[in-house]
Amino acid sequence: MNRDWIATARTLSEALPYLQRYSGAVVVIKFGGNAMGDDDAMAEFARDIVLMRQVGVNPVVVHGGGPMINDMLAKLGIKSEFVRGKRVTDKATVEVVEMILSGLVNKRIVQAIMDAGGRAVGISGKDDDMMVCVADDPELGFVGRPVEMNVQVLRDLFTAGIIPVVAPVATGMADNETFNVNGDTAAGAIAGALQADRLLLLTDVPGVKNAAGEVVTQLSPDQIRTMTAEGTIAGGMIPKTETALAALDAGVRAVVILDGRLPNASLLELFTEHGAGSIIRSTEPRVKPRIR
């Protein structure tokens, strides 16, 4: 008998406790980075999401689109700057952001999920007033901080067996302005509002690294705060760890920062003993078995 078939059957058998553990669970996945521009990586990600839904998980995909936004801004001659890992967004920029995120990127992910045999609907934080924001920081312009969440539309999609794909664009509280929301921040707000079991932040690095450059596989909120104060956590990792802490405070069981370039990264985290990346949680131990 083919050894690969035997290995596949064994893997499926070993995954059973984790499949049971996450049946019915809500898992929010922030998808971003360079993998979004690669057709093969996109197709693999879509298959992973469809498999999750097939085994009873309720996945929500929240995506970024930084590289695509950068390309379009460059073509249009619009200068883009970043402050503390977040894009400074004026009126011209926010129009481009909404066009790329709600249009090009969102529908590409939806199509990939459908091509993999799933059902998906693309929405943004503006739909059904799912995410209402105020300005995050005057320096950042039209960058929003979620202050009101209405996630019933996501629950309705779960009930219908549909995978939501969410673009991080939101409505303003005051004058119905359009706000660009950092993708990690949006994913954390959605995960918190849904009381998600897991928030997976897929990025282009293996996880949170210590001062020696080594990935730390398990972290507590206190460790995150210390590493940030010391400057070990810096740049684009700051919004991710801030998101993790806010999500934990809102009731998310655990947040994982992991390398989205790793094949089947989300499945490795959810359905194997080893897991992947850096897991951040307040109390839950990461030891086998991970069964309710």
Hey, where are the domains in the chain?
19-280
Find the helix or strand (DSSP H, E) in which 238 lies. Answer: helix 237-249
Q: Answer yes or no: is pLDDT of 159 > 70.
A: yes
Distance CA 173, CA 191 (A): 21
Distance CA 20, CA 14 (A): 11
What value does the mean pLDDT take over residues 244-262?
92
Least confident of 111-120, 158-167, 261-270: 261-270
Angle ∠(44,24,270) on CA atoms, nearest 5: 45
For residue 112, give the nearest of 28, 160, 25, 40 by alpha carbon.
Answer: 40
What value does the mean pLDDT take over residues 151-168?
97
Q: Answer yes or no: is pLDDT of 286 > 50.
A: no
Q: Answer yes or no: is pLDDT of 82 > 90.
A: no
Beta strand 163-167 pairing with 86-87: unpaired
* pLDDT confidence bin for 158, thresholds 50/70/90: very high
Amino acid identity at 227: M
Distance CA 25, CA 271 (A): 13
Distance CA 59, CA 51 (A): 10
Contacting residues for 244 by C-beta, under 8 A, at least 6 apart: 188, 199, 201, 224, 255, 257, 280
Under CATH, which number does the domain 19-280 receive? 3.40.1160.10
Q: Which pLDDT does position 144 carry in this prediction?
A: 92
DSSP code, position 139? G
Q: Which pLDDT does position 13 carry in this prediction?
A: 67
Least confident of 14-28, 91-105, 183-197, 216-230: 14-28
Amino acid identity at 26: V
CA 108 to chain centre: 16
Count of residues making up the chain: 292
Q: Is the pTM of this model over 0.85?
A: yes
Q: Which tokens sit at 275? A: 């897991």
Contacting residues for 126 by C-beta, under 8 A, at least 6 apart: 169, 170, 171, 178
* pLDDT confidence bin for 6, thresholds 50/70/90: low
Q: Which pLDDT does position 118 carry in this prediction?
A: 97
* pLDDT confidence bin for 291, thresholds 50/70/90: very low
Q: Among the ranges 11-20, 155-164, 268-277, which has the highest mean pLDDT value?
A: 155-164
Provide DSSP, 152-184. HHHHHHHHTT-EEEEE-EEEETTT--EEE--HH
- Model pLDDT for residues 14-62, shown as the tens digit of each residue: 767 767 777 889 999 999 866 676 788 899 999 999 999 999 999 999 9
Q: Answer yes or no: is pLDDT of 290 > 50.
A: no
Q: Answer yes or no: is pLDDT of 140 > 50.
A: yes
DSSP code, position 209? B
38 within 8 A of 112, measured Cβ to Cβ? no
**Residue whose structure tokens are 């689109």:** 65
Torsion angle defined by CA atoms of residues 279, 281, 284 and 287, in that order, rounded to the nearest 10 degrees:
10
- Model pLDDT for residues 171-188, shown as the tens digit of each residue: 998 777 899 998 999 999
